[in-house]
Amino acid sequence: MSVPFAKYFEDIAKAETRSITIFEEGHSSGLPPGEYGFVEYYCDEKNCHCNRVHLLVVARWCKEPIAMVVYGWESPAYYEKWMSFADKRMAREMSGVSLELMFKQSKYAPAAKKLVEEVLLADPAYIDRLKRHNQMMRDYVDGGRRSARRRSKRKK
């Protein structure tokens, strides 16, 4: 199950949650002007190495989240092996960027996905941050709680 990164690492989440402000109408993403936040969710199941992040896309102008975008940074071959059954279609869907099928997406969800792809994931430092946060969750959930907590306090 995916949980907010802030559940375990509140201070780091506050400092490192990405936001984007669109200032004018007609942005290439198709989103209206406003500030958009990208809240990270990671799997908290013990020994799960799905290597994916769910990004809950929120906007100040909207009461409800506008999208849940999923990003898996591993190759389809990784996911095929990780799932331990040969479902090539599902492995391809787990790799890369998609909209979460089990989330009630708004009419702006495709535009939010496009913004994630074209802006956030075009930044190698942001991708490294997502991978680091995922590893912190893995360390915490899989038994390295002390080292994960120490790392969290050091980053303040």
Q: What is the pLDDT of residue 154?
A: 45
Burial class (CB in 10 A: 0-12, 13-18, 19+), 71: buried
Confidence of residue 13 (pLDDT cuts 50, 70, 90): very high
CA angle 90, 94, 84 (to 5 degrees): 60
Q: What is the pLDDT of residue 82?
A: 87
pTM of the model: 0.87
Contact indicator for 118, 24 with CB cutoff of 8 Å: no
Confidence of residue 149 (pLDDT cuts 50, 70, 90): very low
What average pLDDT does the segment 103-114 reach?
A: 96
Residue 67 has pLDDT above 60, yes or no: yes
| Token couple for 95 | 């790799």
Around Cβ 95, how many Cβ atoms within 10 Å? Answer: 20
- Comparing 7-16, 100-109, 145-154, the range with the smallest average pLDDT is 145-154
| Token couple for 2 | 């995916």
Please state the φ and ψ torsions of residue 147, each to the nearest 5 degrees: -65, -35
Proportion of the chain above pLDDT 70, given as a percent:
90
**Domain-wise residue ranges, the chain:** 2-154
